[in-house]
Amino acid sequence: MPYSSDVAAAEALTQSYQKLKTEISKVVIGQDDTVRLLLTAIFCQGHCLLVGVPGLAKTLLIQTIASALDLDFNRIQFTPDLMPSDILGSETLDQDRNFKFIKGPVFANIILADEINRTPPKTQSALLEAMQEYAVTIAGQKYNLGRPFFVLATQNPIEQEGTYPLPEAQLDRFMFNIYLDYPSYQSELDIVKNTTSDKRQEVNRVITGEEIREFQHLVRRVPVVDNVIEYAVKLVHKTRPNTDLAAQDANQYLEWGAGPRASQALILAAKCNALLTGKYSPDIEDVRAVALPILRHRVVRNFKAEAENISVEQLIKRML
């Protein structure tokens, strides 16, 4: 639905965001930052990786967001025996003995890839091609995926036996790496009260796929002043050890720094963050607000950092 101006569209986005937060908070309690980052990724055409221990409502959160958006939603439970065809679909013979393509669960707008590190690299890469290309290739035939297309993958950080950790190049495909922590005491009281009664909360659909596409284009049209872009690019350069702009911490504690995708993600997410808070152009504070989940999975610590128990988060915060 076209708006009279970009200002009108920006105001509509802010209102839609507030409505979405209200609907999601009916079911998901005390995850405000996570909800903001997930919705930011949707409006930026990005994908998210959620990392958290079991029972923190990662799956419920994603299902609730899908319910509030008028979009197709599919959940794929990743297991060691999952094959690429289980995700993408496969060709089968029909009654007339002709080959017919049966679409897999990847043909939806929102994909929940549950425990993505439980499946071998061959199956992981099938999903990651879809994330990057917005299309899949089966038997030499290319099939485009519906837009908007958004992958939310979850990982459990505790048990690493029998898992296949995502390589750095594949982690880089995710715009945000979001850590879910335990809820606060008060939030957990509210969760227990809400989830142990017979009352069911109905989540209303707030926004359509067409509106999301409109807002995705709007985010890219947001103007950014040069000093904000320079700040974002300089921040990424600070993470690259043994380069001209490297921070002292990077030279000392990092093996690898973030690539150019991080700079692009910082500016896109800062633009969206500005719109969600009612501004028409991002400032340095907007870049800082999204820096941690963007850089967290794009830098690699060296042995010295691990030996001294210095986390990636600590290093990024020092650079900020």
The answer on pLDDT for 19 being more than 60 is: yes
pLDDT over 90 at 225, yes or no: yes
SS (H, E, C) the chain: CCCCCHHHHHHHHHHHHHHHHHHHHCCCCCCHHHHHHHHHHHHCCCCEEEECCCCCCHHHHHHHHHHHEECCEEEEECCCCCCHHHHHEEEEECCCCCEEEEECCCCCCEEEEECHHHCCHHHHHHHHHHHHHCEEEECCEEEECCCCCEEEEEECCCCCCCCCCCCHHHHCCCCEEEECCCCCHHHHHHHHHHHCCCCCCCCCCCEEHHHHHHHHHHHHHCCCCHHHHHHHHHHHHHCCCCCCCCCHHHHHHEEECCCHHHHHHHHHHHHHHHHHCCCCCCCHHHHHHHHHHHHCCCCEECHHHHHCCCCHHHHHHHHC
Confidence of residue 1 (pLDDT cuts 50, 70, 90): low
Instruction: Report the range out of 97-111, 122-136, 144-158, 268-282 with the highest average pLDDT.
Output: 268-282
* pLDDT number for residue 237: 94
Average pLDDT over residues 288-309: 92
pLDDT of the residue at 281: 92
pLDDT value at residue 98: 81
Average pLDDT value for residue range 163-191: 85
Mean pLDDT of the chain: 87
Is 0.85 surpassed by the pTM of this model? yes
Least confident of 10-19, 74-83, 153-162, 285-294: 153-162
Sorted by where each starts, the structural domains of the chain and their CATH numbers stand as 6-197+205-211 (3.40.50.300), 222-319 (1.10.8.80)
